[in-house]
A and B are shown apart, each in its own frame.
Chain A
Amino acid sequence: MTPGPLGQVGLVLALSFALLGLLLAGYAWWARDGRYVEAAKRAALFSLLGALVAFFALEWALLTDDFSIVYTAKNHSTKSPTWVKFATLWAALEGSILLWATFQALYTWLAARRLRDYWMAPGVLAVLFGIQVFFFAVMLFVTNPFLPVPNPPTEGPGPNPLLQNHWMMAVHPVLMYLGFVGISVPFAYAVAAMLARRYQTWIATTRWWTIVAFGFLTLAIFAGAWWSYEVLGWGGYWGWDPVENASFIPWLLLAAFLHTALVQERKGLFKPWNFAFITLAFAATVFGTFLTRSGVVQSVHAFTEGAVGPVFLGFLLLVLFVGFGLLSRVGSEVRDVGGVELLSREGLLLGGALVFSTMAFVVVLGTLYPLFVEAFTGDKVSVGAPFFNSVFAPLGAVLLFLMGAAPVLPWGRVDAWARRAFLWMLAGLVLGLAAALALGATVGVALGVGLFLYNLVSAGAQVGRAVAARRRQGWGAALLGYLTQGRRHFGAQVVHAGVALAALAIVFSQAYRVDVQKTLNIGETAKLAGIEVRLGRLHAFDEGYRFVVEAVVEAKGIGTFRPRLNYYKTMNAPLAAPSVRYGPTENYYFILQAFDQDAGKWATLRLVLTPMVYWLWVAGGVIAFGLFYMLLPLGRSRRSVPGGEVAA
């Protein structure tokens, strides 16, 4: 047995059992017979085993340098370090679809194990198996990584060097796919709910999955920003590149869904919104893949392989058709009775969800606009970061404002406590704004500081109120009781504080960025952005799979930096690997721009100072912590916290 045939067998097994599961679930629905549901659940396990066989077959080929299949022949190199070999599985198109499909099989199996509701089960299983059939069929018939190579080479080009430059690249795609695939479970439940005409319970049942998916997506986006910052050598973390946008659109729509789902869970309102948002969020994951894998838009890190594009476009249309077709069929049954008070928790939550979905619309528009312009006028244009920034700044400010206000309000009305809390929050806003203006900040930065304090006051007031409501047990027990039983409430406060911190870090890093360049001779000292910098030496060495030119730079009072240029055989341009040092307020980022190739006597250095960027990474961790804290198994979470209702 060699990896090639083994992988083929795995794919065929996975596809067959997914197809079987789909048929069994469909028959169970048609015949109203629970025994077929049980059989379909068992098919999920065998489909997962098939997917794992294919996964391990590809890892086997990569780790043993087997070039007899197309995937290794195109993307593998014997010279890569072991971790790169392992991660090469998701470094190109076919492998990343295999990873996606394997996670899909895993989630289907996990979701099937937790399925209790026999009205919903056939629909949920049919949708999940349907998605699985799509992915395994794409792999077998469109982009098969296991196709044999007639004359296997003995050495290949290796994966894209950009992906080998940082360990984060082994983690980021895995997190991203865990998030993408996670959205399919609430989507499947939504379809099943519309089929079974049971519109309420699916929200509470899928809460766990939604938060898991949102947590992984959040981690993946922050990991991607970090990679962009530490690897791409341009001194930024977010460039509104189509691939970045492709990951951001589902995140925004899932955020909208999370907040309206909360209202349905507690008040039974917004049912149509929830069906629409979850359909759009899942469709956005397919749209992102279509966008970046079909070559319709240019991007720094799109794989651009044409054949997959139309297939994903078709699947995208199918998802939208199923979601919105069913919604229009049951539309009259799910309509909300009565109006929504604007100044109430549900009113502001809907407002927030609308801001999130507007942001998603803006990202889609900005990404696709060049295509429209070219189709209608023939002009080649691009929409740059200034457009996205100019729209996201005001929308973000509105969002931050709503984020602080919504959770202090009670359902359906405004009460005295909310009024008092809001006055304190406004005081925080004004204080931050005035202090920052007095210190010479721009209005935008001052508003960022003000909104940060506003949200901290909001979170603090809510936590304080919830703990104080339990004070009869004694303060220690009150805090412990709140942290365990009120963990959804506490987790939400942590997430919101993290978002406020991230916004503050983005504002500062954008407003006070310094970017300077200078050419220095060896041994020469000069001032860059007020820092005394000495170019110590310049040396070159071979690391086997790449050739390195490194500059040793001493920055007075800060330390030694080693920015380098990495030369890979497959690329005719070197990749600049920056040398980064994080501090609580300032962040130093040295790039080796150019050097004297004849005699090694001089080098051009670039120094980028990005204040507070460190806190952006911290904020990512805080948000993820808050999300996963909600899911901690610490005994039963109470539906409401005394003195403060559950906020998430």
Chain B
Amino acid sequence: MKGKYLIGALVILGALGYLIFGGLSQSLTYFITPSEYFQNPGKYAGKRVRLGGLVKPGTVRFDRDTLELRFVLTDGVAEVPVEHRGTPPALFKERQGVVVEGRFKGKVFYGDTLLVKHSETYQPPKEGYTPEEVRKLIEEAK
């Protein structure tokens, strides 16, 4: 009688463990910058990623009828073209720190959520910034 319960409990625990830890590893969203992506593109292929960087000046195109927003995200070293469907948030502008959530498809990053990093003290970084500086800036701004 006891053995039966033990097996039942093990089966339930196993299923739970699979559900929880399988779910965790599948829905982990990495937060990376473009240069971190290019160091190991295979790791992020097809996965949901939060890509952080600055909006490169002169690259923003927005079609207000189809609501397609295209821009290049840079961290000073590497650049990624981004396509996002939806209206740019009010604070979206050139040289602004943004985080886009989405997936890579080929060379283009397709975003579905766009967050503008801002705070009262936000300052665009000086010329010659490094990916580390960009990352710190974005993590510190709320």
Contacts and interface: CB of A to CB of B under 8 A. Distances in A.
Contacts of A606: 87
Interface of A: 298, 342, 358, 362, 365-366, 369, 373, 379-384, 386-387, 390-391, 394, 517-519, 565, 572-574, 593-594, 602, 604, 606
B70 to A, nearest CB: 16
Given A390-B19, A519-B64, A604-B87, A383 B30 contact: no
Contacts of B7: none
A489 to B, nearest CB: 30
A249 to B, nearest CB: 16
Given A380-B139, A573-B89, 16 more contacts: A362-B20, A369-B24, A379-B30, A381-B28, A381-B29, A381-B30, A382-B29, A383-B29, A387-B26, A391-B19, A394-B19, A519-B67, A572-B120, A573-B91, A573-B118, A604-B87
B56 interface: no
Contacts of B31: 379-382
Contacts of B19: 390-391, 394
A365 B27 CA distance: 13
Interface residues of B, number: 29
Given A380-B30, A572-B118, A365 B64 contact: no
B118 A517 contact: no
B23 A391 contact: yes
Interface in B77-110: 86-91
Given A381-B28, A384-B48, A517-B87, A358 B16 contact: yes
Given A573-B89, A573-B91, A594-B88, A383 B27 contact: yes
Contacts of B20: 362, 365, 391
B134 interface: no
B65 A390 contact: no
Contacts of A604: 64, 67, 87
Contacts, number: 74
Contacts of A517: 67, 86-87
Given A362-B20, A390-B19, A574 B90 contact: yes
B90 to A, nearest CB: 5
A606 B85 CA distance: 13
A373 B27 CA distance: 13
10 contacts: A362-B20, A373-B28, A380-B139, A390-B23, A390-B27, A391-B19, A391-B20, A602-B64, A604-B64, A604-B67
Nearest to A565: B90
Residue in A517, A565, A594, A602 with the greatest tally of chain B CB atoms within 10 Å: A594
Contacts of B89: 573
A517 B84 CA distance: 13
Residue in B24, B30, B64 with the greatest tally of chain A CB atoms within 10 Å: B24
A573 B23 contact: no
B23 to A, nearest CB: 5
Contacts of A387: 23-24, 26-28
Given A384-B48, A394-B19, A594 B24 contact: no
Nearest to A394: B19
B137 interface: no
B116 A573 contact: yes
Contacts of A390: 19, 23, 27
Contact of A366 (B24, B30, B64, B90): B24
Contacts of A594: 87-88, 90
B67 to A, nearest CB: 6
Contacts of B26: 386-387
Residue in A365, A382, A606 with the greatest tally of chain B CB atoms within 10 Å: A382
A593 B30 CA distance: 28
Nearest to B101: A384
A387 B27 CA distance: 6
B24 A365 contact: yes
A517 B112 CA distance: 13
B27 A386 contact: yes
A352 to B, nearest CB: 14
B121 to A, nearest CB: 11
Closest 10 CB pairs of A and B: A380-B31, A387-B27, A593-B87, A386-B27, A594-B87, A519-B64, A390-B23, A604-B87, A382-B29, A381-B28
A509 B31 CA distance: 29
Interface in B40-93: 48, 50, 64-65, 67, 86-91
Nearest to A351: B12
Contacts of A298: 142
Nearest to A374: B31
A356 to B, nearest CB: 14
A404 B142 CA distance: 45
Contact of B28 (A362, A383, A574): A383
Contacts of B5: 342
Nearest to A300: B142
B34 to A, nearest CB: 14
A606 B87 CA distance: 10
Contacts of A379: 30-31
Nearest to B19: A391
Contacts of B139: 380
B9 to A, nearest CB: 10
A383 B20 CA distance: 12
Contacts of B28: 369, 373, 381-383, 387
A394 B15 CA distance: 11
Contacts of A593: 86-87
Contact of A519 (B16, B27, B30, B65): B65
Residue in A379, A394, A602 with the greatest tally of chain B CB atoms within 10 Å: A379
Nearest to A516: B67
A508 to B, nearest CB: 23
Nearest to A393: B19
Contacts of B64: 519, 602, 604
B66 to A, nearest CB: 9
A390 B16 CA distance: 12
A573 B141 CA distance: 14
A380 to B, nearest CB: 4
A389 to B, nearest CB: 9
Contacts of B116: 573
Contacts of A369: 24, 28
A379 B37 CA distance: 12
